[in-house]
Amino acid sequence: MAVDQIHLSRFLSFVLRHKPDEIGLTLGPEGWANIDELVEKANASGTKFARADLLGVVASSDKKRFSLSADGLSIRAAQGHSVPVELGLPPREPPSILYHGTATRFVEAILSEGLKPQARQHVHLSSDEATAKRVGQRHGLPHIFRVNAGGMHIGGYKFYRADNGVWLTGRVPPEFLASISPG
């Protein structure tokens, strides 16, 4: 039986970032789940796939949403968690400019309040405008913000770089944002 890679990727994202308890899975403090346990519990809950299917999704993901442990026994989502995890990423100096893509309907609130993680643990930032635009398009008509990450870093804000290259920070105050395009 062929497994739908897109469906499996979405399932893994949901379970590993938001609802591990939906299938009776417990994540470790850094978000790791044992692959064999994940496969077993997913199959028992009605989402059928094999370890090889999971590894295929990880290998073929253009967004690199998942990380495998060095020993290949565990998997975690690279970023985007709404469940509490500590990814163990060291603070890093970010590029001077980063980007954030969102839908135009959120622009006014963002200009007023800044970027907040909402239900997630971090605000997600991109290294380039094209990626930010793709992210914004997922939520509607895209709008891109330029983030003065260098200024934030000098001001004491911490930045982390996820395994997939996404930059993470706790929040972005409005004074560090510039509205640069309607997408």
Provide CATH code, domain 97-181.
3.20.170.30
| H-helix or E-strand spanning residue 141 | none
pLDDT of residue 2 exceeding 80 = no
pLDDT (tens digit per residue) in 40-85: 999 999 999 999 999 999 998 777 889 999 999 999 998 888 888 8
d(CA 27, CA 36): 13
Q: How many other C-beta atoms lie within 10 A of the C-beta of residue 29?
A: 10
Q: Mean of the pLDDT values across residues 15-38? A: 95
H helix intervals, 18-148: 35-44, 51-60, 107-113, 129-137
Over residues 92-150, the pLDDT tens digits come to 999 999 999 999 999 999 999 999 998 888 999 999 999 999 988 887 889 999 999 99
Which are the contacts of 157, defined by CB distance < 8 A and separation ≥ 6? 169, 170
Residue 183, pLDDT above cutoff 80: no
pTM of the model: 0.79
Confidence band, pLDDT 50/70/90 cuts, at residue 1: low
Q: Which residues contact 122 (CB under 8 A, 6 or more apart)?
A: 79, 160, 168, 169, 170
Cα(54)–Cα(25) distance, integer angstroms: 16
Start-end of CATH 3.20.170.30 domains in the chain: 97-181
For 5-77, CATH gives 1.10.10.970
Which amino acid is located at 25 in the chain? L
Q: Tell me the C-alpha distance between 165 and 173, whole Å.
A: 22
Residue 91 pLDDT? 96
Residue 101 near residue 107 (C-beta atoms within 8 A): no
Segment 147-165 shows an average pLDDT of 96
CB contact at 8 A, 174 and 113? yes
Map tokens 């469906």 to a residue.
7
Separate counts of helices (H) and strands (E) for the chain: 6, 9
Q: Which pLDDT score, from 0 to 100, does residue 71 have?
A: 96
The angle, 0 to 180 degrees and rounded to 10, between the axes of the packed helices 5-17 and 51-60 is 90
For CATH 1.10.10.970, the residue range(s) in the chain are 5-77
